[in-house]
A and B are shown apart, each in its own frame.
Chain A
Amino acid sequence: MDTEPRFFETNGPGTGGVVGQPLNRVDGHDKVTGKARYSAEFPQQGLVYGVLKGSEIAKGKIQSIDTTAAMKEPGVLAVLTHQNLPKLAKTPNSPEGKKAIGAPMGFLPLTSDTVHYAGQPVALVVADTFERATHAASLVRVQYAAEKPLASYQDPKAELFNPEKVQDGKTDGFTRRGDARAALAAAPVKHTATYTHAINHHNPMEPGSTTAVWEAPDRLTVYESTQGITRTQKSLATMLGLPLEQVRVVTKYLGGGFGCKGSSWPHTVLTVQAAKAVNRPVKLVLTRQQMFTGMGHREDQTQTLQIGATREGKLLALVHEKTSTTSPWDNYAEPNSRIINLLYACPTFESSYKLARANVMTSTFTRAPGEAPGSFAIECSMDDIASQLGIDPLEIRLRNYAEKDPTNGKPWSSKSLKQCYARGAELFGWSKRNPQNGATRDGKYLVGYGMATASYPVHNSQGTARVRLYADGHAVVQSGATDLGTGTYTVMTQVAADTLGLTPDKVRFELGDSRLPTAPNSGGSVAGGTVSSSVYVAAQEVWQKLKKLAIADKKSPLYRAKLEDVVVEKNRMVLKTNKQKGEDFMALMKRNEMSDIEGTGNGKYGAGYESGLAAGGADSGHQDDMAGHSMHSFGAHFCEVRVDAEFGTVRVTRWVSVHAAGRILNAKTARSQIIGGSIFGIGAALMEETFRDPNFARYTNASLGEYHIPVNADIPEMTVEFIEEHDPYINAMGVKGIGEISMVGVSAAVANAVFHATGKRVRDLPITPDKVMGAMAV
């Protein structure tokens, strides 16, 4: 069947295609005019408002709750507590619940009198207006039997343990490749360093929200701010004991998520139960303060990395240890070791995790979970070793370039890291770097250059899409994906347009509804590759049907042609040997009195054209390439900082990122995404830190006034480029995804630039002025 396209090929200038082009966002107009509805903006008949009251204490038992004053307030319909919340069919920590719902919900507030963390919901007030519900919530009086909480692994009383698995059971608590300890002991160059990372919160612009509408006693619609409608649907159906199809989840637009909307969280099911209790649709939007305890965070953590190397800077051993805080019910730790194991050629490796249970809401995926803090450790250590051995930081990375995946010996499906280094260095002017640390001064500023490598895996994922092509020349394309705001609507419109031979204005792409074909969570950078491949494969099914129709149609120029001799050019089917002979789909469909035609497709990880699956339909049964190649994106960041020589304030003054992530679907949205991720990383590097009081285990800066994220004045012009890759293995579109890689290595690039500027190494994120000033004084 070599006549069938197995891989998307019509890209690029001259082909007339729009994939890869910097198309403006198709949803831009709706967003700026307010027509786009975010999840809390769907009007409902008889809608009432839910407001959560959080626990004042971090550990203990609820002795009593006095709701009298709250209930007396005008407009108040209900005050739900653990004493009167409607019972769930299955709790999240039941065996069924654990399977369907995931770790963050291992403990569900309002189902017992236990308080595990400060801010834990202890009551949910429902009233006819948001203001009345908010005020009534402040009148709920809770008596606690408070116990002394534990705030973090750093508390001397913390009991550390080695988990068998971390991060939802996905990563081993202990990993070993060769004898790293022995190799380390024998290595001529040794480097040991300890890195700490502050608690970070995602803080998407749009907070978490749920609008729960019981359409019938056994039929529910939820408008939810989530990165994964399928996961939300499954978890709610399980907890409520409803068939999956009786629960509909809608998420049309998201104002960011960064991982905090990638799981099910308590407020969703609590709102659903509140709607049941008051028999009205209920809307609940988390406050900014509640976002700090309602949807996870990046955990506080310490990493110690020991490296053994030759005097030429070639790695011999990597030994990594991580200690972090987790919640009383979960074993979440970001898998930092993954990238440390993978980034460079090194014959031996060992990693271990230690956790302490503290009185905190559980931590969760935060943009590049594991890769972001893991890269901080290894990329700072590599920089140190380079400095110690008098090797240029870029050169030491080239000396340790991994030509195949060091973790399993597999070849890469594609890797263009060398090109990223070269292009980034050229754009940045890396060759002008002064080899001496702390030797470049401009007035009151010390100037430094830093760089770091980025990498992120292409995760195993699959999804489905449906294409409906109409005889009048337009198409509706659907997939139950979500658009975090990064451009899913736009890039899928482009893919559908090119695969169907239409202009983008003739394509409507629909997403964000569990009634649509299922798609994966928009997380782990999988949406771009999986959904685009699904669309592509679905479009191929449409063309197959049309070709069959044409060759059986006496009036078609293609009548009696062999199926394999017919190829598609734009919106026409033509003979491969004589491209003049053929017709467009509209003529064919109209003649056959066919108003529309539908195809579905299954986009799969590992199903690129070399693996022979891409053209197959959902059930074609081809083998994919999951076992054959290691699939990762790579990139490099280059950073210039100016450090105030007295105050230690650090400002990033130049930035260059070059990434190779397979096919780039839209040059403009991709650039924006990389810029966004880099700024996210600069925030983590220089200012983001949630402070948990050591005595109260309660956050002290749960607001955007006190939790600093970068403002425009902190960010320079950013240069972003891509190295285009044609990866024949990952998926039908050859798309690796760019959601996470943009922030991997960023904090290291900044820290390395600070090191170059000052000659002092700060290993404790964020790199605030006090730490730099302190380091410079030593």
Chain B
Amino acid sequence: MAAPDQYQPHASRDDAAEARYHRRAFLVMMVLFIGAPFVVYPVFVMKALCFALFACAFNLLLGFGGLLSFGHAMFLGMAGYAAAHAAKVWGLPPELAILAGSAASTVLGVVVGLLAIRRQGIYFAMITLALAQMVFFFCLQAPFTGGEDGIQSVPRGRFLGFLDLSNTMVLYYVVLAIFTAGFLLIYRIIHSPFGQVLKAIRENEPRAISLGYRTERYKLAAFVLSAGLAGLAGATKALVFQLASLTDVHWSMSGEVVLMTLLGGMGTIFGPVVGAFAIITMENYLAELGSWFTITQGAIFVVCVLAFRRGIIGELEAWLRKRRGG
């Protein structure tokens, strides 16, 4: 599924303009993030950064591959458990724990991807949701996840042996570096020939097949990349909060990442980041109201689908394009 108004082919002049706009927006974003911990509570920004990376990974699959996964929480949560287990039980340093987490979700992504890409559209969403629910029950019952308690007081350790992560500021800039690396990797993937083929499959799969592309391989690759990057976010999140729990594997988390992407603008580069920050901020204020947060989430879904399908960034880009075009 693609955001509307993404379809028209761009001439190369537009491509250059778009690259320029992306560069500028990226610089603004980096300045904001580098300065953020001096203004806002750093743990809050770190949480939002982890979710922003999660949403970007999800958007790679939905916005550019056209595949709606309703079970992405399984990659976030599974990577969290794997990283927490690696750091706490095996005593691995944080960089290896994060790698172990991402590796776990990548492997899970291969297995789930092979099953799910056998069906399209609505079925794809239902299958990923059902498999994620299976992973949820597995995490509930398996001994190493700690059941309802989760894995608590995960040691943060020293990143690369010399960065002491118990210092919040050091931790913040490590998390920011991980987010930036993930974000740039996703940007690179989208603008590579591989990303172009993905877009072609999204627009018209039979035509891509007739052009000789083995579309199921591209879809599987996109799925695995998205799962691995979602895992990177989940593993980082587990180290930041020193906790891996069932919340991150639950279906409501899968719904939340869909909402972040939808609100920010699916199929846009910066939309998921904006969406993640918006939802996490909202959660911060509405959390104590309990069920009102759920109701608000549902209402945003309904409003976005009915009246605001391009999302915040999508609307902004459309407005800018109209102004530039005169």
Report whether chain A binds chain B: no
B-side residues, CB < 8 A to A, are none
